[in-house]
Amino acid sequence: MRAKAAFLLAPGAGASTAHPRMRAFADLLARLGTVHPFDYPYMLEGKRRPDRLPALVAAHRKALEETRRVSRAPTVLVGKSMGGRVGCHVSQEEEVPAVVCLGYPLVSAANPANVRDAVLLEMTAPVLFVQGARDAMCPLDRLEAVRARMQAVNDLHVVEGGDHSLLVSKTSLKARAMTQDQCDLAVLAAIEAFLDKVL
């Protein structure tokens, strides 16, 4: 990547940035720049249910402001699941160079008919979707239909055999003669290539 970046890393709804998978994402991103993980207030308070979207966006914006105070590098918003969706909303209120969504929750697990595409169609910041091929919360055909209607520059990296956390099944790994680490490094390469293009 031509220029170092700062990454504001936001978690999904159910696990904080202390979760091993989130730490793995942080370690990957650290190869490209400085990583600033943060957790939403409801997590820090020990609550299980996320706050409403306006509160999540406000907390995310505050974390972005704090990251900008300590880093001169362009701050890229990276989010796992809900963190990526909230990051997309933040990009409509704050100027950011790019958003990276790790497992975008396009549909609700409780109601698959509910497609969360409004923010994607409205946003203008470049966005990279990193999606598991077997992620029930983001059917790839439905995502492609949304991407075709988006005004923002966008790209997609598919993790074959990957689930919502981009973890690949053992069967798929064996069939492809790959390891999870190799799949994660391919994700890192996709992020680096995308940022090289948009930064």
pTM here is 0.96
CATH of the domain at 190: 3.40.50.1820
Instruction: Tell me the mean pLDDT in the region 97-121.
Output: 93
- Give the number of domains in the chain: 1
CB within 8 A of 46, min separation 6: which ones? Answer: none
Instruction: Tell me the mean pLDDT in the region 118-146.
Output: 97
- As a dihedral over the C-alpha atoms of residue 127, residue 181, residue 14, residue 41, rounded to 10 degrees, the angle is -70
Q: How many residues does the chain have?
A: 199
Instruction: Tell me the mean pLDDT in the region 152-169.
Output: 97
Q: Quick one: pLDDT band at residue 1, thresholds 50, 70, 90? A: very low
Domain extent at residue 176: 5-198
End-to-end CA distance of the chain: 9
- CA 144, CA 156: separation in Å to the nearest integer? 9
